Amino acid sequence: MTGKTSLFTILTGVHQETRIGSTAVRTGVAQVPDARVEELARLFEPPKVTHATVEYVDMPSVSKESLRDPSYLASLRVVDAFAHVLRLFEDATVPHEKGSLDPVRDLEDVEMELILSDLVVVEKRLERLEKDRKKIKSADLDREFELLEKCQAALEQNHPLRQLEIDAEEEKRMRGFQFLSQKPMLYVLNLGESEAGNLHQREREYREGVLAGRKQVSATAVCGKIEAELAELPAEEQREYLASYGLQESGLERLISATYSLLGLMSFLTASETEVHAWTVPIHSTALKAAGAIHTDFEKKFIRAEVVNWKALVDLGGYAGAREKGLLKLEGKEYIVKDGDVLVIRHG
Ligand SMILES: Nc1nc2c(ncn2[C@@H]2O[C@H](COP(=O)(O)OP(=O)(O)OP(=O)(O)O)[C@@H](O)[C@H]2O)c(=O)[nH]1
Ligand SMILES: [Mg+2]
């Protein structure tokens, strides 16, 4: 018990459990906090305002036992990243599964289970490939064999697969396996109340300490107790409450932002009198891909995009002002969209 379900509930507002096979999971959606959306909404005053979202799934802890359950394993395989809530808070009334408080041990234990689970998959596939390669000569099978041997070697040295140096082709080959230790990992450091003032220091300790040199991992500290109290307050009192602990953002806001950047995502915006909307795309997406995120038709019939930075749009009071200043630019398919761009897609 580290506070996973408590944090999940505050984050998504979802209390309802569903069953996938024998595993109880909760699925919920959290809005990505985005001040740019609010400012654009103030300018356009549309009836509809839509934030970008991240979907979270609350699952029982990763352990030898839970990983034996095929439905549990299947639910883990399909996610884009893990958030591992580590218990740093002390509370004698909440029993610790492992009998003592030791977040680094908990972190390494789960990592090891992910590694072992992947190793089983790799070994099975290697066995199969060995047989097949005796029957059929195929460069494709040879490549897969080599790649999996590389995975096996890493796993046997207790390295998660996210640590592996792979090229685009290998990445594609590995994708189908949905390896657990390859998924990006966000460590959520759940601190005790007395440590609320030390959030950033604790994050740094982890990043520069136990997580140093690890690829595709990140750490965000939250204080579950404070988040729970915060969630009970009306919106206008929340900032003040946070400030009383010397905080500017809630842990949940930072948790969502951290998820977003760990996954290599960013937001662009669309804004008009009918709707202000933040859209999620991978960093370095082209204008064409961005159009496709809005509507597949926009991608197919894309002509060009008008692009303006959100701040310029707000400061200049709208598109007309931005155009006058030459800050509303015409861009083609290949334009690389930047975080905070406002796009108007022209399509056929
Ligand atoms: N003091 C303190 N107690 C907490 C905190 N977060 C959760 N708890 C308590 O810990 C207990 C378990 O919390 P859950 O959120 O259900 O933990 P979990 O990680 O989902 O547990 P499992 O699903 O059983 O692995 C509850 O009694 C919570 O009130 C926290 O930040 N501080
Ligand atoms: Mg739980």
From residue 249, give the alpha-carbon distance in Å to each of 183, 326, 333, 346.
Answer: 27, 35, 36, 37
φ and ψ at residue 84, rounded to 5 degrees: -100, 110
Half-sphere CA count of 78, side-chain side, radius 13 A: 11
Mutate which of 4, 5, 6, 58 for ligand 1 pocket (most atoms within 8 A of beta carbon): 6
Instruction: Give the strand pairing for 82-87 and 185-190.
Output: parallel
Give SS3 for 220. strand
Per-residue model confidence (pLDDT) at position 111: 97
Per-residue model confidence (pLDDT) at position 257: 85
89 close to ligand 1 (CB < 6 Angstrom): yes
Residue numbers in the chain where pLDDT is lower than 70: none
224 close to ligand 1 (CB < 6 Angstrom): yes
Given a contact cutoff of 8 angstroms between Cβ atoms, the answer to whether 186 and 263 are in contact is no
State the Cα–Cα distance between residues 240 and 235, nearest whole angstrom: 10
For the chain, the distance separating the N- and C-terminal CA atoms, rounded to the nearest angstrom, is: 54
23 close to ligand 1 (CB < 6 Angstrom): no
Query: Which ligand has the shortest distance to the CA of 225?
Result: 1
pTM for this prediction? 0.88
Please tell me the total number of residues recorded for the chain in this structure.
348
CA of 69 to the centre of ligand 2 (A): 17
Per-residue model confidence (pLDDT) at position 12: 86
Per-residue model confidence (pLDDT) at position 252: 80
State the Cα–Cα distance between residues 37 and 64, nearest whole angstrom: 43
Label residue 85 exposed, middle or buried (CB < 10 Å: 0-12, 13-18, 19+): buried
- Name the amino acid, one letter, at 16: Q
Per-residue model confidence (pLDDT) at position 247: 84
Q: What angle do CA 282, 285, 288 make, to 5 degrees?
A: 130
Residue nearest atom 24 of ligand 1, based on CA coordinates: 1
What ranges make up the beta strands (E) of 177-321?
Answer: 185-190, 217-222, 265-271, 275-282, 302-309
CA of 3 to the centre of ligand 2 (A): 7
CA of 4 to the centre of ligand 2 (A): 5
Instruction: Give the strand pairing for 48-50 and 329-331.
Output: unpaired
CA of 192 to the centre of ligand 1 (A): 12
Give the DSSP letter of residue 155. H
